[in-house]
Amino acid sequence: MIGWLDCSAGASGDMFLGVLVDAGVPLSVLQEAVDAIGVEPIVLRTEDVTRAGLGATRVHVETGQTAVTRTWADVRGLVEEAALDPQVGATALAVFARLARAEADVHRVPVDDVHFHEVGALDAIADVVATCAGLDRLGLTRLTASPVALGSGRARGAHGPLPVPVPAVLALLTGVPVRAGAAPHEMTTPTGAALLAEAVTDWGELPPMTVTRTATGAGGRDPEEVANVLRLVVGEPLDGTTSALLVETNVDDLDPRLWPGVLQALLDVGASDAWLTPILMKKGRPAHTLSVLCGDDVLDAVRRVVFTETSTIGLRTQRVGKHALERTDAVVDVGGQRIRVKVATYDGAVVNANPEYDDVVAAAQALGRPVKAVLAEAAAAAQTARKNASAPD
């Protein structure tokens, strides 16, 4: 199950909470996560509201007065000591760490010196922890989002009036597609920006999916210019289409004898494919484009291999759709040698059956026969097996 967020009206912590409850996450799941933090009493309450005629769920975060000022170290300690699901706690810490780095960058102070004037407040702690628990409960395999509306004008911060988009939001969303948006005020808060930056894996239009549900979470404002809501569309990818990352770089100064080892190292860390394309660069210099197809879970490992094993100093990364046929393994016999065969099916019918080349080479060596002869015999046996598998009973 995948999800897509419509951020045309921005994002904030309470909008995230509202859209999660509207998507079916029980309010009790969010409340239990907040209670686990062990701070002053915080109560979550839902309300059905309308924004520009759209029905939506708003979650109120109700807190009492507190004189406690919390630093990044204080917040980190609270989350680390809380009885949260390990994944929820890790995600919450990652969100707060993003906020800490952004504030440190804006105020040009060491990250450990950051005081969370807004972020350390009780409602922001509740927003982050409860949202992380809600996203975990929703169980999405991938979350994408539209470009983010940030707003314009000025906002009041702990240090005085700030231009909108506020500096922390811009720092948090560096590298993310954004726009001003329709409303002349703050549309995306630092908490909302940090949650987006941590949870969203790709940015763009609604991905191909079969929609199973939609949800709408409201913010506190009700402006005339735009419906102040965060929308979530949940569904199943179309026709088995999955998402993958394509990582590429152009290299013109690497000893070509190193490339086979680079490709193998990429496959060893989990890339699903890696290949080279000869190209001509500026001034007619011969070069290669290195292309790697991988999942989000191995992206860091792939980057490490490319940067450490090649001479490149930069990478391009883009998300692509991937449709893989259902695959099974079979075995054929050539001269008493077992050779594995990759069998691919489409719409229930076998469409490809190819021998594993490494097995063919090993069989040829064992039999003392040419590789091409063993390959031809294995391919013929694979085709026979394919026809038998496709024949009706």
Give per-residue pLDDT as tens, 12-23.
Answer: 999 999 999 999
pLDDT score recorded for residue 163:
86
Average pLDDT over all residues of the chain: 88
What six digits make up the tokens of 77? 């300690």
**Model confidence band, residue 156 (pLDDT cutoffs 50, 70, 90):** low
Q: What is the mean pLDDT of residues 97-111?
A: 81
Q: How many CB atoms lie within 10 A of CB 328?
A: 12
Residue 335 has pLDDT above 60, yes or no: yes
pLDDT score recorded for residue 157:
59
Distance CA 322, CA 101 (A): 34
**Model confidence band, residue 360 (pLDDT cutoffs 50, 70, 90):** very high
Residue type, 113: D
pLDDT score recorded for residue 117:
54
Give per-residue pLDDT as tens, 240-296.
Answer: 667 788 999 999 999 999 999 999 999 999 999 999 999 998 888 899 999 999 988
Cα angle 339-343-345, degrees, rounded to a multiple of 5: 175
User: Do residues 17 and 217 make contact, with C-beta atoms less than 8 angstroms apart?
Assistant: yes
**Residue whose pair of structure tokens reads 């190193």 in the numeric block:** 258
Distance from the Cα of residue 241 to its chain's centroid: 16
Residue 32 has pLDDT above 80, yes or no: yes
Could you tell me which of 350, 377, 101, 347 has the C-alpha nearest to residue 240?
347
- Close Cβ partners of 85 (under 8 Å, ≥ 6 residues apart): 133, 136
Cα dihedral angle (140, 217, 179, 99), rounded to 10 degrees? -70
Residue 204 has pLDDT above 60, yes or no: yes
User: Do residues 208 and 238 make contact, with C-beta atoms less than 8 angstroms apart?
Assistant: yes
Radius of gyration of the chain (CA): 27
Q: What is the mean pLDDT of residues 57-65?
A: 88
pLDDT score recorded for residue 113:
65
DSSP labels, 311-335: S----EEEEEEE---EEEEEEEEET
Give the H or E element holding residue 266.
helix 259-268
Could you tell me which of 233, 235, 230 has the C-alpha nearest to residue 56?
230
What six digits make up the tokens of 301? 């490992």
Q: What is the mean pLDDT of residues 160-178?
A: 87
pLDDT score recorded for residue 91:
93
pLDDT score recorded for residue 389:
56
Q: What is the mean pLDDT of residues 165-183?
A: 90
pLDDT score recorded for residue 205:
87
Q: What is the mean pLDDT of residues 20-48?
A: 93
Give the H or E element holding residue 383.
helix 371-390
pLDDT score recorded for residue 375:
93
Residue type, 115: H
Give the H or E element holding residue 155.
strand 153-157
**Model confidence band, residue 390 (pLDDT cutoffs 50, 70, 90):** low
Whole-model pTM?
A: 0.66
Domains of the chain: 2-240 (no CATH), 242-322 (3.30.70.1380), 326-390 (3.10.20)
